[in-house]
Amino acid sequence: MNRMNVHIRFLGGAGTVTGSKYLVEFNGQSLLIDCGLFQGYKQLRLRNRDPLPVMPHHIGAVLLTHAHLDHSGYLPLLAKEGFHGKVWTTPATRDLAQILLPDSGHIQEEDAHFANRKGFSKHAPALPLYTEADALNSLKLIRTQPMGEAFEPLPGWTARFSGAGHILGAASLLLEVGGQRILFSGDLGRPDDSLMNPPEPPPAADVVVCESTYGDREHPDEDVLAELAPALQRVAARGGTAVVPVFAVGRAQALLHAIAQLKASGALPHSLPVYLDSPMAIHTTGLFARHLGEHRLNAAECHAMETVATMTRTADESKAIARHHGPKVILSASGMATGGRVLHHLAQHLGDHRNMVLLTGYQSPGTRGATLASGSPRVRIHGQDITVRAEVVQLASASAHADASQLMDWLRALPAAPRRVFVTHGDPGASDALRHRIETELGWHALVPEHNSTWNT
């Protein structure tokens, strides 16, 4: 088949590690690869309220590489504003989206209500981007496809998911249209991840869109158990509380699995109370037993992960945690402390030197997690400046993302050199570092597209 012009418009995930949206256009049709929310800096978050440069009802389909909100969280708004096509995902991504998207809408409603009640919003009234009901409506559009099976998201367009590691259901996506093969990496996991299977080798492609979250960094040789044990031992010995902001999908389960291992080995006392204070993370943890074979854990390890913590589902149960004195560990979403229940735990515990904030992975610039990681003496929560006296620890080994060398190894596994690599979903320094390595080490043409730019493949 002759190669014809296919356009890719980078509506997100370009120059930033959030908001991934790639609009692919050919012969009067278009579909969206990923549909993510912008997070972090306020100027990025404001993009969520900007209209897309294409009418939602003109988009024929959406394909999600995985369920994290920076890849899926814009979907309820897209549907609310007129998109009515099909949303294609893997089965596990569908299961996670059923948890994540309504929760996202609920948190936005709660945050808007709290802002209106406390009067710290600049808008009167503060309004959620979308509601829980909007999210539930968008879920009706989802259709599933298993890994490795070709399907037609639009007439004449062929797509195929392949395992990307990272989280349950995470996939890379090969799209064939106009005589071209375009490969979207999605977020790639680590070959040595404690939970997830390694990414599958990539298929042959003419054009590759590759993430670069860790494009300028390498993971340490130390594993998460070796990092986590001394931190929790230290805070327990001084009678403090460890507040652990976690991503409800992936990171929460990795930490639960690690804590279960540390308790089983005697490195942590069985009596150390652990709380998982996130309904979304609780529901996600239960999915691992339903998707055996898509990750490294067996049934017994899934059970241990589910029972090592007290699951606090309701707001009253969450508030009651503060009444339990003595050392304890609180895992609560969100992973970069951008919203949710973890903000209340941080506000309660940051001011005491006996306590600890345990950051468990990448902290996007502009988030509270990044502010804490920088050593700032204060952090703003719910309109108030909170003094930071608690110890702040950032785990270097808990990331679920491939590091720079692992990204390069994945690219090297391509059966043949692509014509072009677009380096996306990374902060500018990380993306440019990976671009440079691709050009110098592989000799391929690589570039970092700008936000809202359009390229012919």
Mean pLDDT of the chain: 93
Would 203 be classed as within a structural domain? yes
Distance CA 212, CA 185 (A): 10
- Give whichever of 1-15, 55-69, 328-342, 384-398 has the largest mean pLDDT: 55-69
Give strand pairing partners of 338. none
- Residues 431, 321, single domain; the answer is no
- Residues 28, 145, single domain; the answer is yes
pLDDT of residue 131: 95
Would 1 be classed as within a structural domain? no
Would 255 be classed as within a structural domain? yes
Would 368 be classed as within a structural domain? yes
pLDDT of residue 361: 79
- pLDDT tens, residue by residue, 161-217: 999 999 999 999 999 999 999 999 999 999 999 899 999 999 999 999 999 999 999
- Residues 185, 68, single domain; the answer is yes
Q: Which of 361, 312, 340, 355 is nearest to 190 (CA)?
A: 361
The H-assigned helical ranges of 190-238 are 224-237
The answer, yes or no, to whether residue 2 has pLDDT greater than 80, is: no
Would 2 be classed as within a structural domain? no
Instruction: Examine the fold and report which residue of 355, 376, 394 is the final residue of a domain before the chain moves on.
Output: 394
Burial 19-49 (b: 16+ CB within 10 A, else e): bbbbbbbbeebbbbbbbbbbbbbeebbebbe
Q: How confident is the model at residue 122 (pLDDT cuts 50, 70, 90)?
A: low
Q: What are phi and psi of 45, to 5 degrees?
A: -60, -30
pLDDT of residue 273: 97
* Mean predicted confidence (pLDDT) in 423-449: 97
Would 274 be classed as within a structural domain? yes
The H-assigned helical ranges of 140-241 are 224-237
* Mean predicted confidence (pLDDT) in 86-94: 98
* Mean predicted confidence (pLDDT) in 308-319: 94
Q: Which of 371, 308, 336 is nearest to 245 (CA)?
A: 336
Rg of the chain's alpha carbons, rounded to an integer? 21
Distance CA 456, CA 293 (A): 39
Tell me 381's DSSP state.
Answer: E
Q: In this structure, what CATH number is given to the domain that contains residue 328?
A: 3.40.50.10890
Instruction: Bin 149: left if φ > 0, else alpha if -120 < ψ < 50, else beta.
Output: beta
- Residues 172, 86, single domain; the answer is yes
- Residues 172, 292, single domain; the answer is no
* Mean predicted confidence (pLDDT) in 416-434: 97
Counting every residue, how long is the chain? 457
- Residues 160, 296, single domain; the answer is no
Tell me 446's DSSP state.
Answer: E
- pLDDT tens, residue by residue, 134-152: 999 999 999 999 999 999 9
Strands 384-387 vs 378-381: parallel, antiparallel or unpaired: antiparallel
- Give whichever of 103-117, 236-250, 436-450 has the largest mean pLDDT: 436-450
Instruction: Bin 206: left if φ > 0, else alpha if -120 < ψ < 50, else beta.
Output: alpha
- Residues 212, 356, single domain; the answer is no
Would 163 be classed as within a structural domain? yes
The answer, yes or no, to whether residue 124 has pLDDT greater than 80, is: no
Instruction: Examine the fold and report which residue of 374, 394, 414 is the final residue of a domain before the chain moves on.
Output: 394
Give the C-alpha distances (Å, rounded to integers) separating 169 from 186, 190, 199, 430.
Answer: 11, 15, 11, 25
pLDDT of residue 16: 94
Element (H, E) at 96: helix 91-118
- Residues 349, 445, single domain; the answer is no
The answer, yes or no, to whether residue 265 has pLDDT greater than 60, is: yes
- Residues 338, 406, single domain; the answer is no
- pLDDT tens, residue by residue, 358-407: 998 778 788 899 999 999 999 999 889 999 999 999 988 888 899 999 99
Asked if 38 contacts 18 with a C-beta cutoff of 8 angstroms, the reply is: yes
* Mean predicted confidence (pLDDT) in 418-436: 97
Tally the domains of the chain: 2
Q: What are the residues whose beta carbons fall under 8 Å from the beta carbon of 203, sequence distance 6 or more?
A: 160, 162, 174, 181, 183, 415
The answer, yes or no, to whether residue 247 has pLDDT greater than 90, is: no
- pLDDT tens, residue by residue, 157-167: 999 999 999 99
pLDDT of residue 60: 98
What domain range includes position 386?
224-394
Would 153 be classed as within a structural domain? yes
pLDDT of residue 266: 96
Distance CA 424, CA 186 (A): 10
Q: What are the residues whose beta carbons fall under 8 Å from the beta carbon of 282, sequence distance 6 or more?
A: 276, 311, 313
Q: In this structure, what CATH number is given to the domain that contains residue 60?
A: 3.60.15.10
pLDDT of residue 42: 83
Which of 104-108, 194-198, 361-365, 423-427 comes out lowest in average pLDDT? 361-365
The answer, yes or no, to whether residue 123 has pLDDT greater than 80, is: no
- Residues 71, 211, single domain; the answer is yes
Strands 420-424 vs 446-447: parallel, antiparallel or unpaired: parallel
* Mean predicted confidence (pLDDT) in 422-440: 97
pLDDT of residue 1: 46
* Mean predicted confidence (pLDDT) in 298-319: 95
Distance CA 103, CA 266 (A): 36
Q: What's the first-to-final CA gap in the chain, in angstroms?
A: 15
Q: What are the residues whose beta carbons fall under 8 Å from the beta carbon of 135, sequence distance 6 or more?
A: 75, 76, 101, 102, 104, 105
- Residues 283, 411, single domain; the answer is no
- Residues 279, 331, single domain; the answer is yes
Instruction: Examine the fold and report which residue of 349, 376, 394 is the final residue of a domain before the chain moves on.
Output: 394
